[in-house]
Structure 1
Amino acid sequence: MVACILILVAGSSHGGSDLDASIVFLIFITPLSFFLWYRPIYNGYMKEQSLYFYAYFVFCGFHLAYSLYMIIGIPSTGSAGLIQTIQMYTKGHIVAGVFGTIATVGWVVQGIGNALYYRQIWAHHKAQGHSVEKAKTELATRGAKAYFTRG
């Protein structure tokens, strides 16, 4: 968001929409990431149930794609990624370019870390014998409320 503020101050024609989108992302991504991929994998390891692992795989997969999207940095999308950063450097807006570089590197590190965890969790889930069929059975027997309860 800070990089998007600097992109706006630097005079980018897409700066306002970038800032708006980055604020919306900040507000929604934090709680959604907790409920859609952190909590499922925590419960997956705690309860060793397939349903949680597959919920994690679906939503973390979306998050990995989102990370790639943020790394690219298409103008008017709320990202200070590569495209936006290169534009700031070529226009001579060094401070905005530096913050864009920091944001892009942060997304790259976060994306690589998530991809490594994804791979590690996939290996664990396969080693424990979890399958889509088991997840379907768990969903059919316990229902969707099992995903949201502690027991």
Structure 2
Amino acid sequence: MSDFDNNPFADPNPFNDPSVTQVTTSNIEPVEQYNPFPRSNEGLATHTTPATTTPYQPAVLQPSTEPSPQASAAAAQATLLKQQEDLERKAAELDRRERELQSRAPTEKENNWPPLPKFFPIKPCFYQDFSEEIPEQYRRVCKMMYYLWMFNCMTLFLNLLACLAYFTTGDHGVDFGLSILWLVLFSPCSFLCWYRPVYKAFRTDSSFNFFFFFFVFFVQIAIFIIQSVGIPSWGNSGWISAMSVIGSNKAVGIIMIIVAILFTMCAATSIILLKMVHGMYRRTGASFQKAQQELSHGVMSSRTFQSAATGAASAAAQGAFQGNN
């Protein structure tokens, strides 16, 4: 039992060994504080030597990025299907809008000119609406042409009264009879031959209607000048006829002078309006070639021409067939 009572750390103490005490009391730095790069070599860290590059680079295998034919075909098919869907959607939208416009717009415009009473047996023959059918830049000139036509009709009526008064002064029955003819003839003809063509020309920008208007309106200006001159026995109360009667009957002469002034105003206003319409015509881009195209298209689309052409073709075919037999 005495061995267990002995102190294992009694002398000799293993920590008092000279080799151990030499290590613990040495001035050598521990491993954690050891610097393999001494301070004297710190300047070497700032000097770097560039690496040498060889003229030949190692070959690197690049992966292929081109899609396979199957993938390309699938992508193209998907693109076509998408475009087709977009086109179908746009077509459906256009059809829907067209149906809406057709449902809103009236199927047929009711004629409103001449403005006759509803109980009148004759119904209006034309539809006329400046604010709806005529563009704003042409509306003023088109209305002026309409007012010129009405002024012409009024002048022709006053010419009839003046010729009637002229007829009472002597043997001038021919002038009175022709004045009635000019009123009945020129009033509707001027409306159909030069006012309606210029109205349709402004409404649809039609080169054919412009050319037709210019041709007829030149004739109308010549007629205005002849009426204002007043050649005797021509049915016009112009300057010559008025001056021939003013010496014998001043009242009739004054009436005829007033009508001669109105005819002169018609001629002057017509020349001014012709220049205005011609200036607008040049700005619309109309041309003689375009007028020819419109005329040929109108003739070819006419049902009368189509039926006549069909009949002529069938007759020629039958004649050729019978000739061969």
TM-score, L = length of structure 1: 0.90
Q: Displacement of 1:145 after TM fit?
A: 8.2
User: 2:217 corresponds to which residue?
Assistant: 60
- Describe the SS at the equivalent of 2:285: coil
Alpha-carbon distance in 1 for matches of 2:272, 2:301:
30
- Please tell me the residue identity of whatever aligns with 2:266: Q
Q: Displacement of 1:121 after TM fit?
A: 0.3
Of the three residues 207, 224, 233, the one matched with 1:50 is 207
- Please tell me the residue identity of whatever aligns with 1:10: T
Q: Do structure 1's residue 38 and structure 2's residue 195 form an aligned pair?
A: yes
Mark the runs of 5 or more structure 1 residues left unpaired by the alignment: 147-151
User: 1:122 corresponds to which residue?
Assistant: 278
Q: Do structure 1's residue 5 and structure 2's residue 164 form an aligned pair?
A: yes
Alpha-carbon distance in 2 for matches of 1:144, 1:19:
46
Of the three residues 238, 247, 258, the one matched with 1:81 is 238
**Aligned 1:63-142 pairs, distance under 5 A:** 63-90=220-247, 92-142=248-298
Q: Displacement of 1:144 after TM fit?
A: 9.0
Mark the runs of 5 or more structure 2 residues left unpaired by the alignment: 1-159, 303-325
Aligned residues: 143
Alpha-carbon distance in 1 for matches of 2:238, 2:300:
37
Of the three residues 124, 143, 146, the one matched with 2:299 is 143
Q: Write 1 or 2 for the structure with the bigger share of helix.
A: 1
- Please tell me the residue identity of whatever aligns with 2:168: V
Q: Displacement of 1:143 after TM fit?
A: 2.2
1:131–1:102 Cα change, 3 Å = same
Q: What is the aligned-residue identity percentage?
A: 24
User: 1:27 corresponds to which residue?
Assistant: 184
Please give the root-mean-square deviation of Cα atoms over the aligned residues, in Å: 1.5
Alpha-carbon distance in 1 for matches of 2:300, 2:182:
27
- Please tell me the residue identity of whatever aligns with 2:178: A
Of the three residues 16, 19, 22, the one matched with 2:173 is 16
Instruction: Indicate conservation of the 8 Å contact 1:51/1:134, yes or no.
Output: yes
- Describe the SS at the equivalent of 1:143: helix
- Please tell me the residue identity of whatever aligns with 1:105: I
- Please tell me the residue identity of whatever aligns with 1:23: I
Instruction: Indicate conservation of the 8 Å contact 1:6/1:95, yes or no.
Output: no
Deviations 1:41-75 (A, max 9, x none): 00000000101111111111111000000011111
Larger Cα-atom Rg: 2
TM-score, L = length of structure 2: 0.43
1:144–1:107 Cα change, 3 Å = farther
Alpha-carbon distance in 1 for matches of 2:218, 2:255:
27
